[in-house]
Amino acid sequence: MTLQPFDYLEPKSLDEANAALGEYGSKAALLAGGTDLLVMMKSRIVNPKVVVNLKRIPGLGGIAAENGNIRLGTLTSFLTITNSTLIRARLPALAEAAGWLGSVQTRYQATVGGNQCRAAPSADSPPALIVLGAQVHLVGLEGARTVPLDEFFTGPGQTILAPGEILTEIRVPTPTSASGAAYLRHSVRPLMDLAIVNVAAAVVLDEEGRSFTDVRIALGAVAPTPMRAQKAEAALRGQAVDEHLLDQAAELAAGEAQPISDVRSSAEYRRAMVRLLTRRALDRALARANG
Amino acid sequence: MKLLVSLNVNGQTYDLAVAPQRTLLEVLRENVRLTGTKCGCDDGDCGACTVLLDGVPVTSCLVLAVDGQDKAITTIEGLAVDGELHPLQQAFIDYGALQCGFCTPGLILAAKYLLEQNPNPTDEEIRFGLAGNLCRCTGYVQVLEAVAACRVNDGAAVQESK
Amino acid sequence: MTQEFKVVGKPLPRVDGYSKVTGQAEFTVDVDLPGMLHGKILRSPHPHARILNINTCAAESLPGVKAVITGRDTADMRYAFVDTPRYPADEYPLAQDKVRYIGDELAAVAAVDLETAQQALDLIQVEYEILPAVFDPFEAMHPDAPTVHDTQYEGRSIWEEWGAQKTRRSEAHETVNNVSGRTVITYGEPDEAFASAYHVREDHFETSSTAHCALEPHAAVAHVDPNGQLHMWLSTMGIYYKRYVIAKVLKMSTSQVRLHKVYVGGAFGGKMDVFPYEFCSAILARKSGRPVKIELTREETFTTTRIRFPTYIDIKTGVTREGKILAQHIRTVVNNGAFMGTGPVVIFLFHGWTAPVYSVRNMRYEGVSVWTNTPVGGPQRGHGAPQIRFAIDSQLDMIAEDLGIDPAEMMLKNVRRIGDVLPNGDVLNSCGLTDCIAQAVDVSGWKKKRGESGSNRAERSNGTKRRGVGISTTTMISGAPYYPFASAGIVKLDDDGSATLISGVVEMGQGAETTLAMVAAEELGISLTDIRIVAGDTEQTPVDMGSFLSGGALVTGDAVRLAAADAKKQLLEIASERLDTLVEELEINDGTVCVRGRPDRCMTFGEVVRYSIKENGQPIIGRGSRKILTAAEHYPSLAKGTGRWTDAYGFNAQVAEVEVDTETGQVTLVRATTFHDCGQPLNPQIVDGQVYGCVSTGQGQALTEELIFENGRVLNSTFADYRLPTILETPESAGEAVDSYEPAGPFGAKEVGEGVIAQTLAAIANAVYNAVGVRITSLPITPEKVLAGLEEQRNG
């Protein structure tokens, strides 16, 4: 359906944007790439009276490495991420997640900040960013705060963003050389489908490269929000790398997942894919850690 | 409340008053009156509405017209220069890569971007580059042949991939 | 028969290529008229409800709204594709007493813009009495199920002027709740034949609903001019058919309605029916006095136009020890949804797609179409062929395994050959089935991949990804009798020696304009670049059978050839007069007429035309026409399957090679080897394009496409969740047209473009079985089903 009329604002600074959100509250929506917001507005799922376009605010884009962090401006497009030599070299799991996100058209328009704020359970980048230890920087009327990404999501389409708050940046600690991460997604059509299941895994190995000092596994599309497979992680953390254990971890992850049956897939199938993809993601993360 | 926008389409400037809720697709078709860009789903899922913004393909049904300001917009009508078809347009004709023609403009623009980024794409790279453009008529085989024929090395690689 | 042609048979570029690659080609959605209004339709949110009251006052007073209509405005407008005494028409443009599915049309508005039209819809108040609904055809047949059509439809058929019977020709079958159509066809002695069979199998198959997914949404523009003529621009497959129905239903004469030329952005069967939104655009145009455009949203196109019939098939087949089919008993049930659509037709067609392929002397076929409160079924590429071929060739593969023989060999034992006469009287004057199968087997590497025996008993490979091959065959008609029963062509020569072909054909991507121009050029003796085509306008072009009965090549092609031949005859007569010789002494080469062997005694076409006009004031205008079916006097009987219905059949065989990922259950179509008999391919590049398109749609409908319903609601009516193939899914393709010649068609040509799809489903299902030993008998073959099948296998 055609979009319903709305008032349109193009703030030139973050303060202006915060103020606009503060004034209009839930009647306002933030526009970044538009690939989610406009779709939802056309289906009448959301009906904002005011649309606030973030794209004229300087300083919200770009990728930079500083102070042991890789910083992604909220408006950074997924196309920029897939093309970035820095991301491909240091955060290949994120490049993977970005590369599978729809068509080239979608990747150009969609932003990494928008992908978090839309909080779709099957979104591609959240699981990858979560296992990479990402934090999000939120700027609101009361000030700014930084929150770990895996605490950001509260439900399907819901986040901890307070009224007036804007996600301005995502910060990922630069991975150490003994670590590796991977992202995998499963869908019927490899591109263009929403993920039926997605899994990201990050591992940090000890000096000899034979045991896990840390493991993070994030599952998408199998719970109301992207979730950490904590039992699976606990089974591996501190343990020696072992075939059997990896299988067990995959099994645990499958058990922890809370998949539903919907138009895209069945709960049973999703669970089976969690098991398969968790094992594969761990294998790939290990290969990167060792390589 | 309408806003004044200046849209640069195929090198020409159009000064328009548009309501903020109008999409770039609607404004191109109805105000600028270039109907080569098509609406297949209005949801960003089919690619028929693809135009180039500063040379990069977007689904114009998900771009607000006001967001087209300060960008160079290229539609299918802007590809031929002085009546001379772009090599991709000619290749689509030569290889039979079109049937009903509805998805064709979007497909050609997406292919144009692909070849500009990667003048010698492999078969797989062509497929990934065009995955956002649906076609129900052609089954894509002749589309792949047409795009491959526009590779920098004059399509010699086409023989290999066959 | 190999023939040498100058134009036909060459991969010449399409005549509409330039306008399509530059975005200039005009589609219905591009039509823009001064003062044009935008229309929208109010649709039922309930699958079954009585309409107690509709209040449109608020909508009518909304500024910008120029007309509002409801069922009251369409009370005397009953119509349907099938409209006979046995199957009276069951549709109205806007609902009368009840709404019968989610999406059923109740009202329509025309306003200055879409936004206002949408607001107006929101202001229409409807009081419903919700009725119990039924969604499953088997439940619907219970006497206690809600009755979808509890009205007796009376009144005249709009087809009576064209010979539609006023009374039934044969006995009615017993009435069963919600059964909209029944077909029973028997011949031979099936019971005896089953009793004498070496082996008998009974199997059940089911197929899902799928969508056409033409990229251009359904759309209509209507405008009434000051003389009262109704002008329409429709995204459609048959302008004469639509003109007739719209005129009759609106109580106008056919000449008062004009359908204008537009290119159509794909149809695949989904734009054949006359739709409520088309009637509404016309009625709103009349009421408002302004042009009205209605463009359906993608969701509306998915859910409120037509879908492929979900089908339930039971087949019992008896064979000899060697695999010769002795008898078949086939039962089909289709859910036709809230209206008949082509339900009574498709149940007839299932048998129609069976008889021409394998020779089965003893047959009992029963088909039933059923009303339910779901979207309506209609023709979709293959129109029943994909479903029935899936069942027949999956079972054939199973029988072959039971017997320990190669299914391709079994097919060869049973396929029809040239000269066969079908049970209904159709004669196969061309039939390349044997060649198609043999070449598909050869080129695909069948024996290497299945083992020398070709049977399914060969060892399967190990590894997580396993490959397999499967085979299937199919057929398609080349035109069938339906209004307007004929196609015609006009060829006029210009004084520069070039020609214009005038044809009523609709170009919807299938390459009709190019192909017909090539036929005319070949017949005349000029090149494709010297002929232009004017097509698709009911006022400016002659009658055409429409592009929905697969008769474009054979019927319309032949009409065009005859028109060109007529122009050539006139040309030769005038030239013979001018050159003072007999017509028999003349020959034509590249637009020049010469006395044979005398290059000094020639005239160019231009010279002949100019001479004719100066001397006799006579331009050269050729005309030709062809009846769709040369011999038949009336429609075939849908209920009994008797009566001839086509002059020629296209045939195909396909070997599909798949790779099954045993960890995810995903099936990838790796390679499709398709050999087809289309007689003489008129333009091989266009023919290839049709084959590739069919393979792609077949692949999608076998593996990933399915409309998912819940209580009558479609859950996946977007391109995101309805998974048609993207370019990534494209398989390798091999194959070509086999050598064949159809005497009834122009230069030996017959159908291509609709048949190929039907075999892909069984070929893939059989390939999956060959790969991993999992037999899937319901479509689509989803990863879930395959994984579940593998799991079952592991558990023994």
Domain with residue A232: its CATH number is 3.30.390.50
pLDDT band at B157 (very low <50, low <70, confident <90, very high): very low
- Domain shared by B18 and B59, yes or no: yes
Instruction: Give tens-digit pLDDT for A202-260.
Output: 999 999 889 999 999 999 999 999 999 999 999 999 999 999 999 999 999 999 999 99
Q: By CA distance, what is B133's nearest residue in A?
A: A103
Q: Residue C114 and residue A276: Cβ atoms within 8 Å?
A: no
Q: Residue B133 and residue A79: Cβ atoms within 8 Å?
A: no
pLDDT at A107: 96
Residue appearing with tokens 């591996």: A236
**All residues at 6 or more sequence positions from B8 whose CB lies less than 8 Å from its CB, including other chains:** B14, B71, B72, B73
Give the DSSP H or E segment for C285.
Answer: helix C276-288
Residue C284 pLDDT > 50:
yes
CA C515 – CA C537 distance, rounded (Å):
18
- Domain shared by A150 and A227, yes or no: no
CATH of the domain at B110: 1.10.150.120
Any domain includes B82: no
- Domain shared by B94 and B48, yes or no: no
CA C778 – CA C207 distance, rounded (Å):
5
Residues of A in contact with C723 (CB under 8 A): 188-189, 193
pLDDT at C451: 78
Instruction: Give tens-digit pLDDT for B40-91.
Output: 999 999 999 999 999 999 999 999 999 999 999 999 999 999 889 999 999 9
Domain end among A141, A173, A205: A173
Any domain includes B81: no
Provide the domain count of chain A: 3
pLDDT band at B158 (very low <50, low <70, confident <90, very high): very low
CA A256 – CA C91 distance, rounded (Å):
52
How many Cβ contacts (< 8 angstroms) between chains B and C? 175
Instruction: Give tens-digit pLDDT for C589-609.
Output: 999 999 999 999 999 999 999
Of C232, C647, C714, C738, give the one whose Cα is nearest residue C441: C738
Q: How far apart are the first and last CA of chain C?
A: 53
- Domain shared by A222 and A154, yes or no: no
Q: Which of B143-152, C139-148, C461-470, C734-743 has the lowest mean pLDDT?
A: C461-470
Instruction: Judge if the upstream peptide bond of residue A173 is cis by omega within 30 degrees of 0.
Output: no
Low-confidence ranges of chain A (pLDDT < 50): none
- Domain shared by B70 and B123, yes or no: no
Q: Give yes or no for a contact between C432 and C734, defined as CB atoms under 8 angstroms apart.
A: no
Q: Is C118 on the interface with B (CB under 8 A)?
A: no
- Domain shared by A92 and A160, yes or no: yes
- Domain shared by B47 and B68, yes or no: yes
Q: Is B49 on the interface with A (CB under 8 A)?
A: no
Give per-residue burial for A18-34: e unless 16+ CB within 10 Å, then b. Answer: bebbeebeeebbbbbbb
Q: Residue C259 carries which side chain, given as an amino acid letter?
A: L
CA A177 – CA A180 distance, rounded (Å):
8
CATH of the domain at B56: 3.10.20.30
Q: Residue C23 carries which side chain, given as an amino acid letter?
A: G
The pLDDT of C327-351, averaged and rounded, is 97
Which domain does A194 fall in, by range? 179-290
Residue appearing with tokens 């530059």: C22
Q: Give yes or no for a contact between C588 and C570, defined as CB atoms under 8 angstroms apart.
A: no
pLDDT band at C166 (very low <50, low <70, confident <90, very high): low
Q: What backbone torsions phi and psi does residue C162 show, to the nearest 5 degrees?
A: -105, 20
The pLDDT of C135-158, averaged and rounded, is 92
Domain end among A158, A173, A188: A173
Residues of A in contact with B1 (CB under 8 A): 7
CATH of the domain at A78: 3.30.465.10
Residues of A in contact with C39 (CB under 8 A): none
Task: Give the three-state DSSP class for C661.
Answer: strand
Of B42, B44, B106, give the one whose Cα is nearest residue B76: B106
Q: Is B66 on the interface with A (CB under 8 A)?
A: yes
- Top residue of B100, B107, B114, B125 to mutate, by most chain C CBs within 10 Å, is B100
The pLDDT of C456-471, averaged and rounded, is 81
The pLDDT of C278-295, averaged and rounded, is 98
- Domain shared by B48 and B107, yes or no: no
CATH of the domain at A15: 3.30.43.10
Instruction: Give tens-digit pLDDT for C364-423.
Output: 999 999 999 999 999 999 999 999 999 999 999 999 999 999 999 999 999 999 999 999
Instruction: Give tens-digit pLDDT for C174-220.
Output: 689 999 999 999 999 999 999 999 999 999 999 999 999 999 999 99
Which domain does B42 fall in, by range? 3-76
Q: By CA distance, what is C713's nearest residue in A?
A: A263
- Domain shared by B63 and B92, yes or no: no
Residue B49 to chain C, least CA–CA distance (Å): 11
- Domain shared by A18 and A92, yes or no: no
Q: By CA distance, what is A272's nearest residue in C?
A: C664
Selecting among C742, C754, C784, C792, the annotated active-site residue is C754
What would you report as the CA-atom Rg of chain C, rounded to the nearest whole angstrom? 27
Domain end among A144, A173, A202: A173
Q: Residues of A near C (CB-CB distance < 8 A)? A: 1-2, 4-5, 186, 188-194, 263-266, 268-269, 272-273, 276
DSSP state for residue A180 in the 8-state scheme:
E
Any domain includes A218: yes
- Domain shared by A42 and A123, yes or no: no
- Domain shared by B118 and B67, yes or no: no
pLDDT at A1: 85
Domain end among B17, B52, B76: B76
Residue C298 Cα distances to A43, C88, C230, C303, C548, angstroms: 12, 31, 27, 9, 22
Q: Residue B66 and residue A8: Cβ atoms within 8 Å?
A: yes
Q: Tokens in use for C34?
A: 């001064």
pLDDT at A198: 97
Any domain includes B97: yes
Residue A108 to chain B, least CA–CA distance (Å): 7
User: Strand C709-710 vs strand C713-714: parallel, antiparallel, or unpaired?
Assistant: antiparallel
- Interface chains of chain B (3 or more CB pairs under 8 Å): A, C
Q: Residue A191 and residue B50: Cβ atoms within 8 Å?
A: no
**All residues at 6 or more sequence positions from C773 whose CB lies less than 8 Å from its CB, including other chains:** C460, C793
Instruction: Give tens-digit pLDDT for C563-594.
Output: 999 999 999 999 999 999 999 999 999 999 99
Give the DSSP H or E segment for A125.
Answer: helix A125-131
- Domain shared by B32 and B12, yes or no: yes
Reported ipTM: the value is: 0.96
pLDDT at C170: 56
Any domain includes A1: no
CA C360 – CA A56 distance, rounded (Å):
73
Residue A22 to chain B, least CA–CA distance (Å): 21
Give the DSSP H or E segment for C524.
Answer: helix C512-524
Instruction: Judge if the upstream peptide bond of residue A175 is cis by omega within 30 degrees of 0.
Output: no
Instruction: Give tens-digit pLDDT for C41-70.
Output: 999 999 999 999 999 999 999 999 999 999
How many Cβ contacts (< 8 angstroms) between chains A and C? 44
Q: By CA distance, what is C119's nearest residue in A?
A: A4
- Domain shared by A199 and A167, yes or no: no
Q: Give yes or no for a contact between C667 and C780, defined as CB atoms under 8 angstroms apart.
A: no
Q: By CA distance, what is C115's nearest residue in A?
A: A2
Residue C621 Cα distances to B32, C385, C534, angstroms: 42, 41, 14
Any domain includes A212: yes
Any domain includes B41: yes
Q: Give yes or no for a contact between C674 and C499, defined as CB atoms under 8 angstroms apart.
A: no
CA A183 – CA A131 distance, rounded (Å):
9
- Domain shared by B91 and B68, yes or no: no
Q: Is C35 on the interface with B (CB under 8 A)?
A: no
- Domain shared by B38 and B72, yes or no: yes
The dihedral through the CA atoms of C765, C766, C772, C775 has a sign that is: positive
Q: Residue B134 and residue C24: Cβ atoms within 8 Å?
A: no
- Domain shared by B57 and B13, yes or no: yes
- Domain shared by A49 and A70, yes or no: no
What are residue C42's DSSP bridge partners?
C107
Provide the domain count of chain B: 2
- Domain shared by B96 and B72, yes or no: no
Give the DSSP H or E segment for B156.
Answer: helix B156-161
Q: What is the pTM of this model?
A: 0.96
Active-site annotation holds for C754: yes
Q: Residue C728 and residue A1: Cβ atoms within 8 Å?
A: no
Any domain includes B42: yes
Residues of B in contact with A56 (CB under 8 A): none
Domains of chain C as residue ranges with CATH: 17-25+486-627 (3.30.365.10), 31-133+214-267+271-304 (3.90.1170.50), 311-480+635-794 (3.30.365.10)
- Domain shared by A211 and A238, yes or no: yes
Q: Tokens in use for C687?
A: 């023919």
The dihedral through the CA atoms of B9, B13, B16, B18 has a sign that is: positive
Q: By CA distance, what is B132's nearest residue in A?
A: A103
Q: What backbone torsions phi and psi does residue C675 show, to the nearest 5 degrees?
A: -115, 130
Residues of A in contact with C786 (CB under 8 A): none
The pLDDT of C711-717, averaged and rounded, is 97
- Of A6, A103, A106, which is closest to B20 when you measure between CB atoms? A6
Any domain includes A44: yes
